[in-house]
Amino acid sequence: METAVEVKELTKKFGEHLAVHNISFRVKKGEIFGFLGPNGSGKSTTIRMLCGIITPTSGSGSVLGYNIYSETEVIKQHIGYMSQRFSLYEELTVRENLEFYAGVYGLDSSQTKKRIADIIELANLQGRENFQARMLSGGWKQRLALGCALIHQPPLLFLDEPTAGVDPVSRRIFWEIIRYLAKSGITVFVTTHYMDEAELCDTLGFIHGGKLIAFGTPDQLKEQYGYNSLEDVFVSFVGKEELDRVKGLFEERATSLAGGGNI
């Protein structure tokens, strides 16, 4: 299968801080790739390198066949990117935001009209075209942001915690859209803290402390590490020591209370 993203021994340092250390992985075209890790683990730094926003310190990588060192501007034209923070124009309407991004990507008037109609239908934004973005709830804002990222029909989408803070119904609708996009051939590179969302990914990569510590399908990872859930796998990587410490503390206090002690 063709490759959408490939990195080899990719590293990024900020001064003395090693944000990403010697990671290597491959994302296949048309799959949903989940990139998991706690805050500060290197997820966003990796994405920013792949999107051509920052230059790696060392290592190599390609996005859609384009070099992440020398072809960053070409990469930016061929990808869609959506961050966890709503970064569109609050005072513009839904339609005006879509028109703005169509202009950024150089769509002509006929292309813009067709793509806006397609996006409105895909994101189920009918009836909200003339709403200012600030009037939309969190879930509707995220659908609009996704629509803006898709306006130029990119073959690869980077979604950085796209459903953070969104209600469960909106999250499920958003993921139905993601799955539809993947089935239509778009590669989706997504970060998330929700393990039910991670279960929907074709392949997962776990990053912690700047290092890629696990890679595989959800079932492969659960089998490899001997857990029934991805949440347990995740906790075993990044929080088991602290969790065991807290459990031990509560057990000691429970024993003390049973013996007549005080909290």
Domains of the chain and CATH, by start: 3-258 (3.40.50.300)
pLDDT at 71: 97
pLDDT at 83: 82
User: Which segments in the chain show pLDDT lower than 70?
Assistant: 1, 84-86, 239-263
pLDDT at 88: 82
Pull the structure tokens for residue 91: 């005072």
What's the burial of 108, exposed, middle or buried (CB within 10 Å: 0-12/13-18/19+)? exposed
pLDDT at 137: 87
pLDDT at 40: 87
pLDDT at 213: 93
Task: Tell me the pTM.
Answer: 0.88
Query: Using CA atoms, how far apart are residues 263 and 257, in angstroms rounded to an integer?
Result: 7
Pull the structure tokens for residue 234: 């995740």
pLDDT at 91: 94
pLDDT at 241: 52
On whether the CB atoms of residues 53 and 27 are closer than 8 A, the answer is no
pLDDT at 234: 87
